[in-house]
Structure 1
Amino acid sequence: MARVEEKVLQEIREIVGTEHVLTDETDVKKYSKDTSEWSKMPAAIVFPANSGEVAQIVKLANRYKFPIWPFGKGKNWSYGASMGLEAGAVILMLDRMNRIVEVNEELAYAVIEPGVTQRQLRQHLEDNNIKLWTDCTDSTPEGSVLGNAMERGIGYTPYWDHFGQLCGMEVVLPSGEILRTGGGPENSRTANVYKWGTGPYIEGLFAQANFGIVTKAGIWLMPEPEKFVMFLLDLEKEEYLPAVIDTLRRLSLNRILLSNFHLTNDVLFLSAMQPYPYERLADGQTYLSAKAMASVREKYLISPWLLSGGIYGTRKQVRLQLKLLKQHLKPYGRFDLLDDARLKIVGKITRFWRRYKDFPMINSILRSVTRASLEKIEGLPAVYPIFKGIPGEYVLRIAYFKSQTPAPTENLDPARDGTGFVWFSCIVPLTGSEIDKLKKLCTEIFHKHGFDFACTFVMINPRCALTLQAIFYDKTNADEAKRAQALRKELATVLLEQGYQQYRTTVAYYDEILNCTPEFQKLANKIKQAIDPLNVISPGRYGIGLPHK
C-alpha cells in the first residue's frame, strides 16, 4: 500500500477535526511502544468521535489505499498495544467513543461504545445505584471493555467470558457501511438479549479478526448477588497439582463451582509482591534454582501454587457450595475464605503489622497466627475487589518485576515505563495429566532460555483451561531481550507440535499464527477478499489477509 500522503491526512482532519489527528513524531511515538520488543511507527493517530466518522475514514482508506488499525484504548500490553503489523498505518484510537448508551437493570445489560473503560462502566453503575456488577480483567482499569471482549479476554466472576457476554453489535464494515448484527428489524426489542438473532450468527467474525470495526455493542451484566465469598487454597506440595485440577473439573462439570478459577504458581505470585530477587541468583545463573525458590517461599510464606476463585449467590447457596468446595479441596492444603467482614479484619491486621513490622517478636507472632507474610497479606485487599468486578492496578505490577525502576503507586503504564514483559497463552484440556505435562514441558523450555517459569492456569470452561505464561525480562539487557524473544518463539513452535493452540497472540506472531491450518486461513482470506478486497482494515491481523506460508 502507498504511504499516507498529506492531502489524505488533511481530509481526515476535515472529518474528525485537526486537534484529533496526531502526526508529530513525538506524539506518534507514544503509540508505538509495548512491553514486548515490537515497535512499528504509524503515520498518524486519529481519534474519531462516532461510527459515522469511522465510516468516512474507512471509505477514505479504500479510495487512497492505506491501512487502518482500530483500537479501543490501546492497553493490550505485551500483545502489541496499539501498533499495526507494518509501519506507516493510520491508527484509529476510539477513546472519544466513550458513551454508555443504555443500562437496562431489569434485563441486566448495557450498551456501550469501545472507548468505555472498565473503571468508567463500573463507576457508572455505582453512581446510579444500579444493582449490577461488571466483570473485569486484572489489568488496567483504563482498558477498553469492548476491546478486551473482542480479544476474547477473561475475568473472574461467573461472567468471566467477556466475548460470550456480548449481544448485539454495530459494526463499520470495510466498505464503510454500518451493520447491525442479529438479522432483526431496526427497532428490534431483543437485539441485546437474544444472542443468536435470525439466520447466520456472525458476531464471532469480528473477534480476533479484521472483518469490521465494532463501534457499539450490548454486554450482559451480572445481577449483584446477595452473598459473595472469595476462596483460597495454598497447595502444600507441587505434586498435588494434577489432583487439584481433576477435582476442580469435576466440581465445575457438576455445577458446584459456577465461576472460573485461577491457579497461580509461586514465581508469578511473587512478581506482584516485590521486584525480582536478583540477590538470590547463583553465580552465572539467570533464573532461580529450586533451592533459591524454596527459600523465597519460606520467607514470604507462599506455596508452590495458589488457587483462587469466587462463590456467588444467596447466602444458602454460597454456604452449601463452600461446604462442598472445602470438603473436596482441603486435603491438598490450607483452605481460606474472605468476605467483606473478614476483609475489614485483614485491613486492621495489615495496618497494625505495618506499624510494628520492625519488631521481631510481633512480626513472628503475626506470621504464626496468619500463616502469611506481611507482603502476602497486603495483596488481599487489592485482589479481593477484582472478584467482584471492580478493576484495580495491583496485579498489573507484575509487568515491573524485572524493571530497573519500581512500579508507580498509581497510573501504571508498563509500555510508557519501559518494562519488559510478554504473555504466552495457549489452551489445554482441563485434566490433571494434560496440565502437568504442559507445565513440565514449558518449565524445561523456560529454563533452557534462562528464565523462571511464571504461570497461571485459568478455567475457560469446565473442559479446558488457559495457561498464561509470563516472560519477564529487563529491556535494558540486550541479551535478555533476545533470549525472551527466542523463548516465546520456541514455546509457540513446540506447543503447536504437541497440539496446543494459542489463545491469543502478539502482533509479532500474526504472520505465523495460521500456518498450521491452511484450510482455515484460506477460508478466512476468502471472506476477507470478499468484504475487504483492498485489505484496508488491520491487514494481517491474526493472519487474515496474509498469504499462507
Structure 2
Amino acid sequence: MFSETTSLAIALQQWRAVLGESGVRLDPATLARFQQDTMCSAAYAEVVIAPLSAAQVSACMVIARRHGIAVHAVSTGHNWGYGSASTTHASCVLMDLSGMKRIVSFDEELSVVTLEPGVTQAALAGYLQEQGLPWLTPVTGAGPTCSVLGNALERGFGITPHTDHFQAVLGLEAVLADGSLYRSPMSLGATAPCFKWGVGPYLDGLFSQSGLGVVTQMSIALVKKPPVIQPFYFWVAEDEGLEAALDGIKRLLELAPGQIGGINLMNRTRLLTMASDAQVVGMSEAQQRSAAAALGLPAWMGVGSIYCQPAQHRSLKRMIRTELNRFASKSLFQTRGQLTAMARLLGKLPGGWSRRWQRTLHKMLQGIALMQGQPSEVALPLAYAAGAKALAGAPLNPARDNCGLI
C-alpha cells in the first residue's frame, strides 16, 4: 500500500485537474479488473489514471515525479504471457493507455502506419478494411483485443511476413519520467519515418521491454497483401522426428525469406488443447496419445504460409513440398475455399467423427484468417489448458479467468 498518503492525496487532486474525474479511478470494479494476473504473483492496482493524449501523459508524469510516486503503464493490459496489466509494486499507480485509440496516419507509399497504444489488432484490421487498404495487420495468437504497439514493445512474434514485430518499428514517441518528450530522429518531419536506424546512436530499442518511458505513439511498417496467401500443414508422426523437423524448418525459412511467413510447430498437448474440449493438462502420456489418435493428431504438427505473386506460387509449392518430404510424415496444401467446402460437406454427415473434424476444419479456417491479417482467438485456448473455464459469451481473457501462458 501507499505509505505517503498525503502526497498521494495531493497527486490525485492534481491528476484530476489534468484528466477530469473520469480519468482518475479508484472504484472497486476498475481496481479489481486491473488486479487480475496471469502468473499467480502478487498483483496490485491501488489507483488507475487514464490519460488520453501525450500531453496528458506528460503532465501526469510531472506530477508523479513531484510526489515520488512510481507509475506502471499498460497499453490494453492484455499481455497474457507477461502478467497482464497488474504491477507487483504495491506503491505504484497504474497508467491505463487503452483510451489512446487514434490511428494517426497511414502512408500508402511507404506502407507505414502510425498509431497509439490503445489501437488493438482488431481495430487496425477494421481500419484497413474500412479504408479499402490491402495491407496485413501484424497479428499474433494473443487475440483481437491486444495492443499492436504493446506487442511490438514486448518484441512480439507473428506469422505474417514481418514476423519480428519490433524489427518493423520505424520510429516512436515516448514521455520520459520527467515529462519530457523523446522522438526518434527520423520522426520529426511531415512524412512517416522510413529508415529504422535514424542518425547517430540507435535509442529506440531502450524503450523495448523496459520502464524507461511511456510510449505514446509508434510508426510500424506493414506488408501489403500479396495476391497469393497459401497455407500449408505438415505432420511429424513421432517425437523422434522432431530434430529433423527443426533442421528442415530452418532450411525452408532460409530458402524463401519473406515468402514463407513464420512456421508454427505445435506439440500434441497444444494440438489437443485447440482441437478438443477435454482438459489436457493432467492427462498421462498414454491418455494424450489415445485422445490424439482419435482426432488424427500427430506428435507434432507444423503450420506455415506462402506469401507470393501468382507466377511464383507453383515453384514455391514444389520447393516446399520437396523439403517437407525429407522429414514430414504427411503434408497438405489447402486453400480457404477447399477447407470451407470440406467443412460444408462434413456438416451434412452424422456422428461424433464428423463433428470432431468440423471443429478441426473450423480451427484451420481461423488459422488461415490469421495468415491473412485477420486477428482471432484461435490460439488463445492454449492458456486454458489446465482446466480454467472461460466466461460464457465474452471474449477470452486469461487474466480474468485466472489462467495464462506461463
Instruction: Tell whether the structures are fold-level matches, with TM greater than 0.5.
Output: yes
How many angstroms apart in 1 are the aligned matches of 2:358 and 2:196?
A: 46
Q: CA deviation at 1:319?
A: 1.8
Q: Secondary structure at the match of 2:404?
A: strand
Who is 1:294 aligned against?
A: 289
Quote the Cα distance in structure 2 between the aligned partners of 1:235 and 1:53.
Answer: 53
Q: 1:275·1:402 contact (CA, 8 Å) conserved in 2?
A: no
The equivalent of 1:11 in structure 2 is 14
In the alignment, is the contact (CA less than 8 A) between 1:2 and 1:66 conserved in 2?
A: no
Residues 236 and 330 of structure 2 are in contact (CA less than 8 Å); yes or no, is this contact kept in structure 1?
A: yes
The C-alpha deviation readout for 1:107-138, integer Å capped at 9, x for no partner, is 11100011100000011000110111112011
Residue 329 of structure 1: aligned partner:
324
Structure 1 segments unaligned to the other structure (5+ residues): 279-285, 424-549
SS of equivalent residue, structure 1 residue 352: coil
CA positional deviation for 1:277: 4.1
SS of residue in 1 equivalent to 2:62: helix
In 2, Cα distance between equivalents of 1:389 and 1:404: 28
Give matches, 1:274-293, under 5 Å: 274-277=276-279, 287-293=282-288
1:426 matched residue in structure 2: none
Tell me how far apart the structure 2 counterparts of residues 43 and 82 of structure 1 sit (CA, whole Å). Answer: 13
Q: Residue 27 in 1 paired to residue 30 in 2? A: yes
1:394 is aligned to 2:378:
yes
What's the offset of the Cα at 1:350? 4.3
List runs of 5+ in structure 2 lacking aligned partners.
none
Partner of 1:209: 210
- Residue 443 of structure 1 is matched in structure 2 by none
| CA shift for structure 1 position 258 | 3.3
How far 1:201 sits from its partner (Å)?
Answer: 0.9
Tell me, yes or no, if the aligned pair for 2:138 and 2:148 is still in contact at 8 Å: no
Alignment match, 2:247: 246
Q: Give me the whole-angstrom Cα distance separating, in 2, the residues matched to 1:112 and 1:96.
A: 12
CA deviations on 1:220-253 (whole Å, 9 max, x unpaired) are: 1111101110000011222111111111212222
218-227 or 1-10, larger mean C-alpha shift:
1-10
- Inter-partner Cα distance in structure 2 for 1:341 and 1:97: 38
Distance 1:312 1:62 in 2: 48
1:85-484 matches, within 5 Å, as 85-182=88-185, 184=186, 186-187=188-189, 189=191, 192-255=193-256, 258-277=260-279, 287-331=282-326, 332-353=328-349, 356-357=350-351, 363=353, 373-403=357-387, 405-406=389-390, 408-418=392-402, 420-423=403-406
Any idea what SS the aligned residue of 1:231 has?
strand
**Contact 1:2–1:65 under 8 Å retained in 2:** no
Residues 456-486 of structure 1 show CA distances to partners (whole Å, capped at 9, x for unaligned) of xxxxxxxxxxxxxxxxxxxxxxxxxxxxxxx
TM-score by length of 1: 0.69
The residue number in structure 1 matching 2:50 is 47
Describe the SS at the equivalent of 2:90.
coil
Structure 2 counterpart SS, 1:28: helix
CA spacing shift, 1:302–1:314, aligned 2, 3 Å: same
1:15 and 1:277 map into 2 onto residues whose CA distance is 48
Instruction: After superposition, give the CA deviation of every residue in 1:343-389 in whole Å (9 maximum; x if it has no partner).
Output: 33133134334xx225xxxx4xx69xxxx834322311222111112
Question: Hey, what's the Cα distance between the residues in 2 that align with 1:255 and 1:405?
Answer: 41
Q: TM-score, normalised by structure 2?
A: 0.93
Matches of 1:352 and 1:178 in 2, distance apart?
Answer: 61
Q: Is the 8 A contact 1:105 1:132 kept in 2?
A: no
Q: Distance in 1 between matches of 2:9 and 2:22?
A: 16
Secondary structure (helix, strand or coil) at the match of 2:167 reads helix
Name 1:36's counterpart in structure 2. Answer: 39
Task: Tell me if the contact between 1:138 and 1:393 (Cα under 8 Å) persists in the aligned partners.
Answer: yes
Q: Displacement of 1:185 after TM fit?
A: 7.7
